Amino acid sequence: DAEVVFVGRSNVGKSTLMRELTGHSFETGGKPGVTRQPNHFDWASEDFMLTDLPGFGFMSGVEEDRRERIKTDIVEYIEENAERVLVGVLVVDGKSVIDIIDRHSGEDEIPHDVEMFYFLREVGIPVVVAVNKMDKVDDEDERLNDLCDRLGLHPPWKQWQDTIAPISAKRGNIDALNEAVKTHLHEQKRDDL
C-alpha cells in the first residue's frame, strides 16, 4: 500500500492535523512520549494510507534516552518502508520553528527538524513541510522565507509551494498541504507510467 508519513516534534499540532485529514478522533494535547507505535489510517479522499509517527524532540517529563529511542524508531520505520512511502510530511509549529532551529544550530548540532528534512530527502522521499499554527503568525512571508533559508531552499518561499505548506490545522485551513501532497503523488504516478 502506498503511504504518506507524518513526522514532527511533539506539540506542533500533528494530532489536530491528522484528525482534520482523516475525521478520526486523536488524542490531542495528550501525554507526550507515550505513543511509540506508528498509527495507520486511510486518507478519506485518496487511495493511500496515512501513517502518524510518534512526536520527537523535547517533551517535558520524558527522559533523554527515551526521546532518543523514539527518534531512532522513527528513522528505522522510515528506512524500512521508504520504498512505499510516497511523501513525508514534516509538521512544524510556524510560530516557534525558526527560534527552535536557531537555538539548536551549532558546530556539532543539527536541529531535529532540519535533520529530519534532510533524512527524508536522503532516502528518496519527497518532503512537504506543513507549517502549522499560521493563525498565530503575523509576518507570514518573512517567516516562511526564513524557514526556506534554514532548510537550504532559496527564498522566496512562493517558489517552493510543493514543499512549504502554511496551514492552520485547528482552523481546518489545510488546503496548501493537500495541494502540495497531491503534486508529489501525481508526479510519482507519471513517473510510473
List interacting residues with ligand GDP (CB under 6 A).
8, 10-16, 28-29, 55, 132-133, 135-136, 168-170
Of the two residues 50 and 185, which places its CB atom closer to ligand GDP in the complex? 50
Of the two residues 166 and 185, which places its CB atom closer to ligand GDP in the complex? 166
Of the two residues 126 and 166, which places its CB atom closer to ligand GDP in the complex? 166
Give the shortest CB-133-to-ligand GDP separation in angstroms.
4
Q: In this structure, are residues 113 and 11 in contact, taking their beta carbons and an 8 Å threshold? A: no
Point out the residue whose Cβ comes nearest to ligand GDP. Answer: 13
For residue 126, say if its preceding peptide bond is cis, omega within 30 degrees of 0. Answer: no
33: cell is: 512520549
Give the shortest CB-36-to-ligand GDP separation in angstroms.
14
Give the shortest CB-186-to-ligand GDP separation in angstroms.
26
Give the shortest CB-167-to-ligand GDP separation in angstroms.
7
Cα gap 139→148, rounded to integer Å: 14
Of the two residues 135 and 149, which places its CB atom closer to ligand GDP in the complex? 135
Neighbours of 83 (CB within 10 A): 10
Q: Which of 69, 112, 121, 90 lies closest to 12 in space, CA to CA?
A: 90
For CA atoms 11, 177, 21, 185, give the dihedral sign: negative
Q: In this structure, are residues 148 and 131 in contact, taking their beta carbons and an 8 Å threshold? A: no
Q: Which amino acid is at 162?
A: D
Of the two residues 13 and 185, which places its CB atom closer to ligand GDP in the complex? 13
Of the two residues 28 and 161, which places its CB atom closer to ligand GDP in the complex? 28
Give the shortest CB-177-to-ligand GDP separation in angstroms.
11
Q: Which amino acid is at 54?
A: P
Give the shortest CB-10-to-ligand GDP separation in angstroms.
4
What is the DSSP-derived secondary structure letter of residue 106? B
Q: Which of 185, 3, 11 lies closest to 112 in space, CA to CA?
A: 11
